[in-house]
Amino acid sequence: MRYNKCHLQVFSLILVLGSLLSCNGQKKANPIIRNTNKSTPSFLPEVQTDNKISEYIRNIYEDRYGGLWFGTNGDGVAHYDGYNLSYYSSVNGFIGHQITGITEDSNQNIWFATDKGIIQYNWSEDEEGQRRFINHQDYLLFGNEQFWSIYADSKGQIWAGSASDIFLYDGAHWSAFELPLPEDISGTFITKATTWSISEDEDGHMWFSTNGYGAYEYDGKSFTRYTTADGLTDDSVDNIMQDRNGNIWLGTRYGGASRFDGKKFINYTSSDSIGNNEVCVIYEDESGHIWMSAEGYGVYRYDGRSFTNYGEKQGLKVKAVQTIFEDRNNRLWVGGGGGLYRFDGVSFVHITKDGPWK
């Protein structure tokens, strides 16, 4: 199978970290918590070749307190609380160095998808006044699968996507959630069923991307599958997002981006709109502009009429962009292979451990 450059960086990391623990068995609901660890003082990454937050920023999330979380590809998660930058990884009881997803539930818990399992960060303090990371490692249910996405829906449920399965947490237990795939798929790293993206639309419908079977919409009772036969530009879907007008945007591996209005698809490709058909992430900012990555070309901003490219000439030295995020102060952040950058309205500024944060 041919993989895109957005995910190739993962392979070398996996070889270094080693294989996950495995346990064969029937997949069924099991108790969620295998171990609980207190958050000990944060650490600095062991390998520091420069002052970057990390060599590879996979995802960015702002919690309800205004703190920024940066998921990295090998240094665990970095947290900026407005004053200090802290790192959390295995030495803090935080399983996994590769952070593939971040979300927050209605109880203010921060959830992380990692190469080792699912982690829940509990803001409440224990009897010793320390906050805790709760590691969700159910080997009978999860097996040795690596997780690639996580999402907290409006009903208080947590969804997590892995190499060949989706899992659902109801607040007490995890259970397997099956997509109606056209064939049986199993695997522990990457398969055609790998779910890179999970999201929810304004009607409460869940959307799941797959690595070769298109996209699935779930209304709570039934599934609708969208593929190239329906007009989708490519069946390997990396990212799904709904904009303020109700359109569903899908970034794909080999076909650029698609916009779905509920009836038809409009496609944006290297032949007419963007520099490369490999679109890892799509994001809508507060102004209603659509931002998307394009492998080797930085990012594009779509204002509803035309596309504007921001790359090396505009200060963005990230060719493989994997995350785009706007915080509550309307600052746009971009991360990927090359570190963390912030948009000042005209160009991009490289953000290191020393900032500039303001």
Note whether residue 22 is domain-resident: yes
* The pLDDT value given to residue 5: 44
**Is residue 153 a contact partner of residue 206, using CB atoms and an 8 Å limit?**
yes
**Is residue 288 a contact partner of residue 321, using CB atoms and an 8 Å limit?**
no
* The pLDDT value given to residue 34: 32
DSSP state at residue 130: -
Q: C-alpha dihedral over 132, 156, 158, 136, to 10 degrees? A: 30
CATH number for 254: 2.130.10.10
Which residue from 181, 170, 183, 174 is spatially nearest to 209, judged by alpha carbons?
A: 181
Q: Phi and psi (nearest 5°) for 16?
A: -75, -45
Note whether residue 68 is domain-resident: no
Instruction: Check: pTM over 0.95? Answer yes or no.
Output: no
* The pLDDT value given to residue 89: 81
**Is residue 59 a contact partner of residue 99, using CB atoms and an 8 Å limit?**
yes
* The pLDDT value given to residue 185: 87
DSSP state at residue 8: H
Note whether residue 213 is domain-resident: yes
Note whether residue 36 is domain-resident: yes
Note whether residue 270 is domain-resident: yes
Query: Hunting for tokens 């006044």 — which residue is that?
Result: 129
- The HSE-up count of residue 337 (CA atoms within 13 Å, CB side) is 15
**Is residue 295 a contact partner of residue 337, using CB atoms and an 8 Å limit?**
no
Query: Hunting for tokens 């969620």 — which residue is that?
Result: 32
Structural domain total, the chain: 1
Note whether residue 314 is domain-resident: no
Note whether residue 99 is domain-resident: no
Mean pLDDT in consecutive groups of 10 residues from the start of the chain, 358 residues: 43 35 30 34 48 96 96 94 90 85 95 93 68 79 88 97 94 94 88 97 98 98 98 98 98 98 98 97 98 98 97 96 97 97 97 94
Note whether residue 82 is domain-resident: no
Establish whether the linkage from the previous residue to 356 is cis, with ω within 30° of 0: yes
Three-class SS of residue 301? strand
Which residue from 171, 147, 174, 151 is spatially nearest to 161, judged by alpha carbons?
A: 147
* The pLDDT value given to residue 349: 97
Amino acid identity for residue 345 in this structure: G
* The pLDDT value given to residue 95: 83
What is the domain range of residue 122? 5-51+104-308
